[in-house]
Chains A and B, each alone.
Chain A
Amino acid sequence: MKNEVEYSSVTEADIRFLRDAVAPEGKVYTRAEIHEDYSHDEMGALHHFPEVLVETVSAAQVAAVLRHADSRRIPVTPRGQGTGLVGAAVALHGGIMLSTARMNRILELDAENLTLTVEPGALLMEISKYVEERDLFYPPDPGEKSASIGGNISTNAGGMRAVKYGVTRDYVRGLEVVLANGDIIELGGKVVKNSSGYSLKDLIVGSEGTLGFVTKAVLKLLPLPKKAISLLVPFDDLATAIETVPVIIKSKYIPTAIEYMEKPVILCAEHYLGKKFPDHSADAYLLLTFDGNSREEVEAIYEKVAEVCLESGARDVFISDTDERQVSIWSARGAFLEAIKASTTEMEECDVVVPRNRVAEFVKYTKEVERLVEARLSGFGHAGDGNLHVYVLRDGLDQETYQRKLSEAFDLLYSKAAGLGGQVSGEHGIGFAKKDFLEESLGAVPIALMRGIKAVFDPNMILNPGKVC
């Protein structure tokens, strides 16, 4: 959204109001007390401090804060754990940062409806631990386990299990949302089916805090699969590995995850973790995971897929079926992002998603981009759902050269993805970083619709201004 709105600065009177509104359990921090962490997220390049940081403990407190901000035209930036990668949780226009840190309770496990009701600040790792101890399963599995569920809902986070189970939106049954004017509304609920008008709940999911502030979510759970086995499949080269993915999908034995990885990234993770990967025989690997209720059931499925891989040119298929083996592979996989980050001076990410049968083409193109712009690109990703994470690394380049090469590389990558029928963001969202690319990719009409929706929800433009559209 173009921001021609004039915002008010936060005054002493506003701070007094906020302190009263969130007392006694909530907290208000003024500029000098706000930690540097709150001036940025994991995007790195974007820094801006809010004028005041507010931690509320209830929907009623959130409503009081938003009502006040709306009447005063003070911008409000929602904040979870700040693990986002596109600057969505950065207070571009100052104002109030509204943190969910103190709204982090797991409120109810409903075993009869298989739902879990949580507050937005609950961490993904707390949720998965809580439900898995009770033999239940919250399938969305983004890599960043210290993210909050509110942040996951805001970006419609994906993760590795999307191939079989889908993404965050598929597991949000209901939401309690505070609107910009302070109204508290309930959307969806514990129902399995719902044909009752426009799905506002689904509109809120993925809206990155620009339409409303989520204060409660009802999540859908599944019974926990009892057995998970991974296959690490070595290939001579990346092209052969990636070209095998659509063949696996076509075989109808769907893994929960299909990841691809290349030797340089694995070596980087080994160096970062100080631990060796169990195999070094190949230049490229696919990592597949299967789950089910017994070893026999999972074996019967993975053997079919193992055959498919061998027919498609895999050198072998390695089986990871115990906790120790899973750790030896997945600890490396889990460290890729941090390891790549540690290997360079600065990096920016392209989180495109393309149709699954075009993944190979796109990955090959990234190699071409590397040559064209003469910068190091590193990547890995969810080959099974077409969502790729490609990083443009600065290394020893000076800032000006890097910015130029970065922009060239991103232009090439996004236009290639668009040409293949892809989208700008697979799971990280648009935030501030990808706004221009979104507009370019969607075109004028969808963007105008989005802005119209924004204007209905938030006529004074106080909610997370400068983000998404």
Chain B
Amino acid sequence: MKIIVCIKQVPGTTQVDIDEETGVLKRDGVESKINPYDLYALETALRLKAGCPGASVTAITMGPPQAEQSLREALMMGVDDVMLVSDRRFAGADVLATAHTLSQAILADGWETGVILCGQQTTDGDTAQVGPEIAEFLGIPHAANVTAIQDFSAGALTARVDLPATEEIIRIPLPCLVCVNKDIHTPRLPSYTLKKASRGRKVRMVTLADLPDSDPAHYGLNGSPTQVIRIFPPEHHVEHERWEGDPEALAGRLYDNLRAEKFLA
């Protein structure tokens, strides 16, 4: 049984400036980290493996060569294998081209059955689309917004899915893809002993030439139907009001205001 986890390297802080002219994130000098949602996916994978003798966990990421750092961190958390999907021709990919690339890499790796785990979304793109699109490219069932995996046996898994107004418990046959939500499990911390053990280890790299579909028109900017016209930081509207006076009167006024703004029924 092979469990695959898709991870992404994102900026290490929430304070990343946007170049207003090009609409590109200013990543220079900003530290990177694993997308926090992907840590939940990694933790879920390692827990599924623990209950499934003979299973292995592979972390894959698409990105520039420096994305290797996030794979090394996955090794420090305890995954068995890692794969870096990297090629200049993958650059500028939108969600569709990214999902296509990752699904091709998963096929190139000889994956046939098991589970693919993704974080619900990334903290930089925030689209939550790549996971389900990978499943569509691979033609396998998927579930997003998963808050718990209750059972993993007999060729299927049972997932609790958080929908806006309801909660679903669904059973999905393998192979399948699951996007896990924040707080499904507290992610384990990277281990220093695993860091030492994996220090000299080479990270497997997959390029366009290794993929079943090697048509460059399907990858990167060329393979992306989404055209970004402009990216700009959101405008902030913060208004402050300061009230002073008698606590009873202020409490009443606060209550009236909250009601008027429909925060209270």
Contact with A along B176-189 (1 / 0, CB 8 A): 00000001011111
Q: Mark A314-354, 1 if CB is under 8 A from B, else 0.
A: 00111111111100110000000000000000000000000
- Cα–Cα, bound, A12→B229 (Å): 74
A278 within 8 A of B: yes
B32 to chain A, nearest CB (A): 10
Known: A295-B31, A319-B195. A328 touches B186 (CB 8 A): yes
Whether B192 is near chain A, meaning CB under 8 Å from some CB there, is yes
In the bound complex, do residue B189 and residue A279 qualify as a contact, i.e. CB atoms below 8 Å apart? yes
Main secondary structure of the interface of B (DSSP, over half): loop
**C-alpha spacing A231/B191, complex, angstroms:** 10
Residues in chain B near residue A317, CB distance under 8 A: 191-193
Asked if B186 and A278 sit within 8 Å, CB to CB, the answer is yes
A403→B39 CA distance, assembly (Å): 48
On whether the beta carbons of B33 and A303 are closer than 8 Å, the reply is: no
CB-CB under 8 A from B33, the residues of chain A are 321-322
Contact A319 B76 (CB under 8 A): yes
Contact indicator B190/A318 (Cβ below 8 Å): yes
> What is the distance, in angstroms, from A219's C-beta to the closest C-beta of chain B?
26
Q: Which residue of B lies closest to A227 (CB)?
A: B31
A232–B187 Cα distance when bound, in Å, is: 14
Q: Does B191 lie within 8 Å of A319, measured CB to CB?
A: yes
Residues of B close to A232: CB separation below 8 A? 189
Given contacts A322-B33, A323-B13, A324-B36, contact A316 B193 (CB under 8 A): yes
Q: What B residues does A329 contact at CB under 8 A? A: 189
Would you call A275 an interface residue if the criterion is a C-beta within 8 Å of the partner chain's C-beta atoms?
Answer: yes
* CB interface residues, A 202-238, toward B, < 8 Å: 231-232
Q: Which residues of A contact B12 (CB under 8 A)?
A: 322
The residues of B that contact A249 with a CB separation of less than 8 Å are: none
* A318 and B13 contacting across the interface, CB-CB below 8 Å: no
Q: In the bound complex, do residue A316 and residue B192 qualify as a contact, i.e. CB atoms below 8 Å apart?
A: yes
Contacts of B191 in A (CB 8 A): 316-319
- A7: which B residues are within 8 A, CB to CB? none
Interface size on B, residues (CB 8 A): 18
Contact of A319 with B190 at beta-carbon distance under 8 Å, contacts A324-B36, A324-B39 already known: yes
**For the complex, what is the distance from the CA of A320 to the CA of B190, rounded to whole Å?**
7
* A276 touches B (CB below 8 Å): yes
Closest CB-CB distance, A314 to chain B, in whole Å? Answer: 9
A360 to B189 alpha-carbon distance, docked (Å): 27
Per-position 1/0 for B188-211, Cβ under 8 A of A: 111111010000000000000000
CA distance A321 to B183 in the complex (A): 19
Q: Does A310 contact B (CB under 8 A)?
A: yes
* A318 touching B39, Cβ below 8 Å: no
B235 to chain A, nearest CB (A): 21
**CB-contact partner of A277 in B39, B76, B186, B190, under 8 A:** B186
Residue in B76, B183, B192 whose CB lies within 8 Å of A306 = B192
Q: Which A residues lie within 8 Å of B193 (CB)?
A: 310, 316-317
- Residues of chain A contacted by B192 (CB below 8 angstroms): 231, 303, 306, 310, 316-319
Inter-chain contact B189/A320, CB cutoff 8 Å: yes
**Apart from A319-B192, A321-B190, 12 more pairs, CB < 8 Å:** A275-B183, A277-B186, A278-B189, A319-B189, A319-B191, A322-B12, A322-B36, A323-B13, A324-B36, A324-B39, A325-B189, A328-B189
Residues of B within 8 A of A (CB): 12-13, 31, 33, 36, 39, 76, 183, 185-193, 195
- A-side residues, CB < 8 A to B, are 231-232, 275-279, 295, 303, 306, 310, 316-325, 328-329
